[in-house]
Structure 1
Amino acid sequence: MKSIFYVILLLISVETFAQSEAEVQKTIETFFEGFHKQDSTLLNQVVYKDVTLQTIVINREGKTILHTEDYSNFITSILSIPKNQKFKEKLLDFDIKIDGNMANAWTPYQFWFNDQFSHCGVNSFQLIKVDNAWKIFSLVDTRRKDCEE
Protein backbone atom coordinates (compact mmCIF):
# COMPACT_ATOMS: atom_id res chain seq x y z
CA MET A 1 0.00 0.00 0.00
CA LYS A 2 2.85 2.39 0.84
CA SER A 3 4.42 1.69 -2.58
CA ILE A 4 1.28 2.79 -4.40
CA PHE A 5 1.13 5.98 -2.31
CA TYR A 6 4.74 6.86 -3.16
CA VAL A 7 4.20 6.18 -6.87
CA ILE A 8 1.13 8.45 -6.89
CA LEU A 9 3.03 11.15 -4.99
CA LEU A 10 5.91 10.92 -7.47
CA LEU A 11 3.57 11.21 -10.46
CA ILE A 12 1.87 14.26 -8.95
CA SER A 13 5.27 15.89 -8.29
CA VAL A 14 6.48 15.27 -11.86
CA GLU A 15 3.27 16.70 -13.32
CA THR A 16 3.42 19.76 -11.04
CA PHE A 17 7.05 20.40 -12.01
CA ALA A 18 6.23 20.10 -15.73
CA GLN A 19 3.33 22.50 -15.27
CA SER A 20 5.64 25.01 -13.51
CA GLU A 21 8.18 24.73 -16.35
CA ALA A 22 5.40 25.41 -18.86
CA GLU A 23 4.31 28.47 -16.86
CA VAL A 24 7.86 29.84 -16.81
CA GLN A 25 8.21 29.25 -20.56
CA LYS A 26 4.85 30.95 -21.19
CA THR A 27 5.99 33.99 -19.19
CA ILE A 28 9.09 34.32 -21.37
CA GLU A 29 7.09 33.78 -24.55
CA THR A 30 4.68 36.52 -23.44
CA PHE A 31 7.67 38.83 -22.86
CA PHE A 32 8.80 38.28 -26.44
CA GLU A 33 5.27 38.61 -27.78
CA GLY A 34 5.15 42.07 -26.18
CA PHE A 35 8.66 42.81 -27.46
CA HIS A 36 7.81 41.93 -31.06
CA LYS A 37 4.45 43.71 -30.96
CA GLN A 38 6.08 46.74 -29.27
CA ASP A 39 3.41 46.40 -26.59
CA SER A 40 4.52 47.86 -23.26
CA THR A 41 1.33 46.70 -21.52
CA LEU A 42 2.07 43.08 -22.40
CA LEU A 43 5.72 43.45 -21.38
CA ASN A 44 4.76 45.01 -18.04
CA GLN A 45 2.44 42.09 -17.26
CA VAL A 46 5.38 39.66 -17.00
CA VAL A 47 8.10 41.73 -15.33
CA TYR A 48 8.61 42.25 -11.62
CA LYS A 49 9.08 45.70 -10.12
CA ASP A 50 12.67 46.92 -10.37
CA VAL A 51 13.50 44.47 -13.17
CA THR A 52 17.19 44.47 -14.14
CA LEU A 53 18.26 44.27 -17.81
CA GLN A 54 21.92 43.61 -18.58
CA THR A 55 24.06 42.68 -21.57
CA ILE A 56 27.53 41.16 -21.63
CA VAL A 57 29.46 42.28 -24.69
CA ILE A 58 33.01 42.63 -25.92
CA ASN A 59 33.73 46.25 -26.77
CA ARG A 60 35.85 47.58 -29.65
CA GLU A 61 38.97 47.32 -27.52
CA GLY A 62 38.28 43.61 -26.94
CA LYS A 63 37.31 44.00 -23.29
CA THR A 64 34.31 42.29 -21.75
CA ILE A 65 31.84 44.74 -20.28
CA LEU A 66 28.53 44.45 -18.47
CA HIS A 67 26.03 47.04 -19.66
CA THR A 68 22.96 47.73 -17.50
CA GLU A 69 19.89 49.31 -19.09
CA ASP A 70 17.08 51.01 -17.24
CA TYR A 71 13.77 49.24 -17.94
CA SER A 72 12.00 52.49 -18.84
CA ASN A 73 14.74 53.22 -21.41
CA PHE A 74 14.29 49.71 -22.80
CA ILE A 75 10.55 50.30 -23.24
CA THR A 76 11.19 53.70 -24.87
CA SER A 77 13.70 52.19 -27.31
CA ILE A 78 11.35 49.32 -28.24
CA LEU A 79 8.43 51.69 -28.81
CA SER A 80 10.60 54.01 -30.92
CA ILE A 81 11.44 51.37 -33.54
CA PRO A 82 9.62 52.44 -36.72
CA LYS A 83 6.72 50.15 -37.64
CA ASN A 84 8.23 49.55 -41.09
CA GLN A 85 11.29 47.93 -39.46
CA LYS A 86 11.03 44.18 -38.81
CA PHE A 87 12.82 42.57 -35.88
CA LYS A 88 12.58 39.11 -34.43
CA GLU A 89 14.38 37.37 -31.60
CA LYS A 90 14.04 33.67 -32.31
CA LEU A 91 14.41 31.52 -29.18
CA LEU A 92 16.10 28.23 -30.04
CA ASP A 93 15.61 26.30 -26.79
CA PHE A 94 14.52 26.52 -23.15
CA ASP A 95 16.52 25.08 -20.25
CA ILE A 96 14.44 25.81 -17.15
CA LYS A 97 15.42 25.17 -13.53
CA ILE A 98 13.00 25.74 -10.64
CA ASP A 99 13.37 25.75 -6.88
CA GLY A 100 10.22 26.77 -5.04
CA ASN A 101 9.35 30.33 -6.07
CA MET A 102 12.56 30.93 -8.04
CA ALA A 103 13.26 29.92 -11.62
CA ASN A 104 16.06 30.33 -14.12
CA ALA A 105 15.64 29.94 -17.86
CA TRP A 106 18.55 29.72 -20.30
CA THR A 107 17.40 30.51 -23.84
CA PRO A 108 19.84 30.57 -26.78
CA TYR A 109 18.59 32.89 -29.53
CA GLN A 110 19.15 34.39 -32.95
CA PHE A 111 18.25 38.01 -33.68
CA TRP A 112 17.01 39.02 -37.12
CA PHE A 113 16.52 42.59 -38.37
CA ASN A 114 14.65 43.25 -41.62
CA ASP A 115 14.97 39.52 -42.45
CA GLN A 116 18.76 39.68 -42.12
CA PHE A 117 20.66 37.77 -39.47
CA SER A 118 22.11 40.28 -36.98
CA HIS A 119 23.55 38.38 -34.01
CA CYS A 120 23.05 35.52 -31.59
CA GLY A 121 23.61 34.79 -27.93
CA VAL A 122 21.93 33.49 -24.82
CA ASN A 123 19.34 35.02 -22.52
CA SER A 124 19.46 34.16 -18.83
CA PHE A 125 16.14 34.92 -17.18
CA GLN A 126 15.65 35.00 -13.41
CA LEU A 127 12.03 34.74 -12.32
CA ILE A 128 10.11 34.92 -9.07
CA LYS A 129 6.66 33.46 -8.45
CA VAL A 130 4.44 36.02 -6.71
CA ASP A 131 0.67 35.94 -6.38
CA ASN A 132 0.67 32.63 -8.25
CA ALA A 133 2.35 34.13 -11.35
CA TRP A 134 5.93 34.01 -12.65
CA LYS A 135 7.57 37.44 -13.11
CA ILE A 136 10.93 38.27 -14.68
CA PHE A 137 13.14 40.19 -12.26
CA SER A 138 16.43 39.90 -14.12
CA LEU A 139 17.46 39.37 -17.72
CA VAL A 140 21.10 39.09 -18.77
CA ASP A 141 22.02 38.38 -22.37
CA THR A 142 25.10 37.90 -24.50
CA ARG A 143 25.49 39.13 -28.06
CA ARG A 144 27.85 37.64 -30.63
CA LYS A 145 28.33 37.63 -34.37
CA ASP A 146 30.30 34.36 -34.43
CA CYS A 147 27.48 31.85 -34.45
CA GLU A 148 25.87 29.38 -36.77
CA GLU A 149 22.77 30.64 -38.52
Structure 2
Amino acid sequence: MKFFPLLLLLVAAAPAAHAQKALSETEAVKQIVTAFFDGMRRGDSTAVRRTLAPAAVFHGFSGKPGQPPTLEIEAINGFLKAVGTPHPEIWDERVQFERVLIDANLASVWAPYEFYLGSKFSHCGYDSFQLVKLADGWKIAHIIDTRRKEKCK
Protein backbone atom coordinates (compact mmCIF):
# COMPACT_ATOMS: atom_id res chain seq x y z
CA MET A 1 0.00 0.00 0.00
CA LYS A 2 2.95 2.37 0.56
CA PHE A 3 3.85 1.95 -3.10
CA PHE A 4 0.65 3.67 -4.37
CA PRO A 5 1.32 7.16 -2.84
CA LEU A 6 4.87 7.10 -4.23
CA LEU A 7 3.59 6.15 -7.67
CA LEU A 8 0.98 8.90 -7.50
CA LEU A 9 3.65 11.44 -6.55
CA LEU A 10 5.87 10.41 -9.49
CA VAL A 11 2.99 10.59 -11.98
CA ALA A 12 1.98 14.03 -10.69
CA ALA A 13 5.56 15.36 -10.86
CA ALA A 14 6.24 14.27 -14.47
CA PRO A 15 4.17 17.01 -16.19
CA ALA A 16 5.71 19.67 -13.95
CA ALA A 17 9.23 18.50 -14.85
CA HIS A 18 8.33 18.53 -18.56
CA ALA A 19 6.85 22.04 -18.25
CA GLN A 20 9.98 23.26 -16.46
CA LYS A 21 12.23 21.85 -19.20
CA ALA A 22 10.06 23.42 -21.92
CA LEU A 23 10.16 26.75 -20.09
CA SER A 24 13.94 26.65 -19.83
CA GLU A 25 14.25 25.91 -23.57
CA THR A 26 11.89 28.81 -24.31
CA GLU A 27 14.02 31.08 -22.16
CA ALA A 28 17.20 29.85 -23.90
CA VAL A 29 15.70 30.70 -27.30
CA LYS A 30 14.64 34.15 -26.08
CA GLN A 31 18.13 34.74 -24.67
CA ILE A 32 19.75 34.14 -28.07
CA VAL A 33 17.38 36.56 -29.81
CA THR A 34 17.94 39.10 -27.03
CA ALA A 35 21.73 38.63 -27.33
CA PHE A 36 21.45 39.31 -31.09
CA PHE A 37 19.79 42.68 -30.45
CA ASP A 38 22.00 43.53 -27.46
CA GLY A 39 25.04 43.04 -29.71
CA MET A 40 23.44 45.19 -32.39
CA ARG A 41 22.75 47.98 -29.85
CA ARG A 42 26.41 47.91 -28.72
CA GLY A 43 27.70 47.84 -32.30
CA ASP A 44 29.38 44.52 -31.49
CA SER A 45 29.37 42.42 -34.65
CA THR A 46 31.31 39.61 -32.92
CA ALA A 47 28.55 39.24 -30.32
CA VAL A 48 25.91 39.23 -33.08
CA ARG A 49 27.84 36.63 -35.09
CA ARG A 50 27.97 34.33 -32.02
CA THR A 51 24.15 34.12 -32.12
CA LEU A 52 24.08 32.92 -35.74
CA ALA A 53 24.17 29.40 -37.12
CA PRO A 54 26.60 28.65 -39.95
CA ALA A 55 25.00 29.63 -43.27
CA ALA A 56 22.29 31.73 -41.58
CA VAL A 57 19.98 33.60 -43.96
CA PHE A 58 18.33 37.03 -43.57
CA HIS A 59 15.34 38.18 -45.61
CA GLY A 60 13.54 41.51 -45.55
CA PHE A 61 9.96 41.87 -46.75
CA SER A 62 8.90 45.42 -47.43
CA GLY A 63 7.40 47.72 -49.96
CA LYS A 64 6.65 51.34 -50.62
CA PRO A 65 3.06 52.58 -50.29
CA GLY A 66 1.13 51.82 -53.48
CA GLN A 67 3.68 49.27 -54.68
CA PRO A 68 3.74 45.50 -54.27
CA PRO A 69 5.97 44.23 -51.46
CA THR A 70 9.37 42.80 -52.29
CA LEU A 71 11.41 40.03 -50.72
CA GLU A 72 15.06 40.92 -50.35
CA ILE A 73 18.00 38.80 -49.26
CA GLU A 74 20.34 40.59 -46.89
CA ALA A 75 24.01 39.62 -46.94
CA ILE A 76 25.03 38.43 -43.47
CA ASN A 77 28.58 39.74 -43.79
CA GLY A 78 27.29 43.10 -44.99
CA PHE A 79 24.92 43.28 -42.03
CA LEU A 80 27.69 42.35 -39.58
CA LYS A 81 30.02 44.93 -41.11
CA ALA A 82 27.31 47.60 -40.80
CA VAL A 83 26.68 46.65 -37.16
CA GLY A 84 30.39 46.84 -36.32
CA THR A 85 31.07 50.08 -38.21
CA PRO A 86 30.75 53.05 -35.86
CA HIS A 87 27.54 55.00 -36.47
CA PRO A 88 26.28 58.10 -34.69
CA GLU A 89 23.03 56.61 -33.42
CA ILE A 90 22.40 53.38 -31.50
CA TRP A 91 20.45 50.82 -33.53
CA ASP A 92 17.76 49.89 -31.06
CA GLU A 93 15.34 47.19 -32.16
CA ARG A 94 12.81 46.61 -29.38
CA VAL A 95 11.12 43.22 -29.69
CA GLN A 96 8.29 41.61 -27.80
CA PHE A 97 8.16 37.84 -27.70
CA GLU A 98 4.62 37.20 -28.86
CA ARG A 99 5.08 33.51 -29.60
CA VAL A 100 7.85 30.93 -29.20
CA LEU A 101 7.33 27.43 -30.59
CA ILE A 102 9.79 24.59 -30.04
CA ASP A 103 9.97 21.04 -31.33
CA ALA A 104 13.13 19.12 -30.50
CA ASN A 105 16.01 21.12 -32.04
CA LEU A 106 13.90 23.61 -34.00
CA ALA A 107 12.40 26.82 -32.64
CA SER A 108 10.31 29.56 -34.19
CA VAL A 109 9.91 33.04 -32.70
CA TRP A 110 7.23 35.53 -33.76
CA ALA A 111 8.04 38.99 -32.43
CA PRO A 112 6.57 42.42 -33.15
CA TYR A 113 9.22 45.14 -33.00
CA GLU A 114 9.86 48.85 -33.16
CA PHE A 115 13.18 50.13 -34.48
CA TYR A 116 14.78 53.33 -33.22
CA LEU A 117 17.84 55.22 -34.39
CA GLY A 118 18.96 56.56 -31.04
CA SER A 119 15.74 57.86 -29.50
CA LYS A 120 14.05 58.57 -32.86
CA PHE A 121 11.46 56.08 -34.11
CA SER A 122 12.35 54.70 -37.56
CA HIS A 123 9.99 51.82 -38.40
CA CYS A 124 8.14 48.79 -37.08
CA GLY A 125 7.01 45.33 -38.15
CA TYR A 126 7.35 41.71 -37.19
CA ASP A 127 10.46 39.56 -36.92
CA SER A 128 10.23 35.84 -37.58
CA PHE A 129 13.20 33.86 -36.34
CA GLN A 130 13.99 30.22 -37.04
CA LEU A 131 16.51 28.79 -34.61
CA VAL A 132 18.28 25.45 -34.47
CA LYS A 133 19.83 23.79 -31.46
CA LEU A 134 23.39 22.80 -32.32
CA ALA A 135 26.13 21.26 -30.17
CA ASP A 136 26.87 24.68 -28.65
CA GLY A 137 23.23 25.66 -28.07
CA TRP A 138 20.51 27.59 -29.86
CA LYS A 139 21.54 29.59 -32.93
CA ILE A 140 19.59 31.78 -35.35
CA ALA A 141 19.36 30.09 -38.76
CA HIS A 142 16.90 32.43 -40.48
CA ILE A 143 15.43 35.87 -39.92
CA ILE A 144 12.70 37.40 -42.02
CA ASP A 145 10.94 40.62 -41.15
CA THR A 146 8.39 43.11 -42.31
CA ARG A 147 9.13 46.82 -42.28
CA ARG A 148 6.76 49.74 -42.31
CA LYS A 149 6.47 53.27 -40.99
CA GLU A 150 2.71 53.37 -40.57
CA LYS A 151 0.24 51.28 -38.56
CA CYS A 152 2.73 50.88 -35.74
CA LYS A 153 1.15 50.25 -32.34
Is the counterpart of residue 53 in structure 1 residue 58 in structure 2?
yes
Matches within 5 A, 1:100-115: 100-115=104-119
Q: What is the CA deviation profile of residues 52-108 of structure 1, one whole-angstrom value per residue up to 9, with x for unaligned ones?
A: 0001001466111100011001111222342x3232111133410000000001111
CA distance in 1, matches of 2:121, 2:151: 10
Q: Is the 1:121–1:142 Cα contact (8 Å) retained in structure 2?
A: yes
Q: CA RMSD in A?
A: 1.6
Paired position in structure 1 for 2:23 = 18
Shift in Å at residue 4 of structure 1? Answer: 2.9
C-alpha spacing 1:3/1:128, structure 2 compared with 1 (3 Å): same
Percent sequence identity over matched residues? 25
Matches within 5 A, 1:54-133: 54-59=59-64, 62-82=67-87, 84-133=88-137
CA distance in 1, matches of 2:14, 2:94: 37
Shift in Å at residue 121 of structure 1? Answer: 0.5
Q: For 2:148, what is the secondary structure of its paired residue?
A: coil
Structure 1, unpaired ranges of 5+: none
**Moved beyond 6 Å, runs of 4+:** none
CA distance in 2, matches of 1:67, 1:61: 18
Structure 2, unpaired ranges of 5+: none
Q: For 1:85, what is the secondary structure of its paired residue?
A: coil
Shift in Å at residue 148 of structure 1? Answer: 3.5
Q: Is the 1:87–1:115 Cα contact (8 Å) retained in structure 2?
A: no
TM-score by length of 1: 0.91
Q: For 1:107, what is the secondary structure of its paired residue?
A: strand
